[in-house]
Amino acid sequence: MEPTTQEKAVVTATTASPMSPPRFDDLVISTRTVVVSSNTTLDVTAISDWFVPYAAAFAGDGAVHRTMVLQGMTVALTDIYYKKSFRNALNVVYRIHDTATSADRRVNMKVHKNGKFQLTGCKKMRYAQVCLWHFLELIHAALPTAITCDGADMQLFFQTVMTNVDFNLGFMVNRRELDLLMNTSTDYYSLLETSFGYTGVNIKFPLHMKWWETPCPAMRWTLGTQGEIQYALAPLNTFVPETAIERLRRKGKFNTFLVFHSGKVIMSGMFTATMREDYDTFLAMIQKWRPRIEQRMLA
């Protein structure tokens, strides 16, 4: 007797791979690094002199500068402190509680005197935005002379320089075979790495798209007014000098895939718009080569 439709569905679900790579739009960003350009200069010496005693007192302050709402998300700043740094920069660490997801996140921010900021650990772009908004408003209220703004409004431009996403291929991988196929059947660069405490295949896809024309988030508001923040998008080449972009063009940008024996993959790129096409290309290759690269468990 022919199986029913329901029975067929059960068989299909039972025999299908227990895990398969998600669609690109379903990937969850594990972390990103954001570099921010602004129209300010900062007196980092004065800020650091003030910041140390402020940070010591902050632990017992249950109200000031603890919560805010930005882009419809409530974020609580649970800790902030100063660490010694070098090259006229401050290191500030935020611990953010995202009430939308009940998740706690640590964001490290490096503050430079020329008004540039580097933030690591930002799972969401909003984490970078709320940290910058809070820091600049905090310093402006306490030390208004430590911030010099070129213009009436504060302007920030957010460039994501690295994005990491994790996913799983759904089967164990013969790394040597994958490395061989990448190097002999494609123009991509592949290296079987064994000297860093793990054994993985590091695959690099050169980035050919005009990433410098991709719109980046921007924020604008008047310091100290608690007024409305204006959000916009601006291409990278509108706020990064052409000489810097040309230097990066010559150096080249890549999307990288680090593939482990378990089938876990860490993909790193600039931002999602520059990663989508190579993600799909990589998965198409894996699907084609699966009969050769899948490593099955011995019975």
pTM of the model: 0.80
- Residue ranges of the chain with per-residue pLDDT less than 50: 1-18, 62-64
The pLDDT value recorded for residue 151 is 83
- Cβ(163)–Cβ(259) under 8 Å? no
Domains, the chain, ordered by start: 21-32+161-212+238-299 (3.30.310.10), 40-149 (no CATH)
The pLDDT value recorded for residue 87 is 58
Task: Give the largest CA-CA distance in the chain.
Answer: 85
- Work out the percent of the chain whose per-residue pLDDT is above 70: 79
Tally Cβ neighbours within 10 Å of residue 82. Answer: 20
The CA distances from residue 54 to 45, 72, 85, in Å, are 14, 29, 18
The pLDDT value recorded for residue 138 is 82
**Per-residue model confidence as pLDDT tens digits over 91-142:** 888 878 777 777 778 888 999 989 999 999 998 898 899 889 888 888 888 8
CA 163 to chain centre: 4
Handedness of CA 138, 139, 142, 148 (dihedral sign): negative
- Cβ(236)–Cβ(245) under 8 Å? yes
- Cβ(191)–Cβ(179) under 8 Å? yes
Give the C-alpha separation, 208 to 252, whole Å: 9
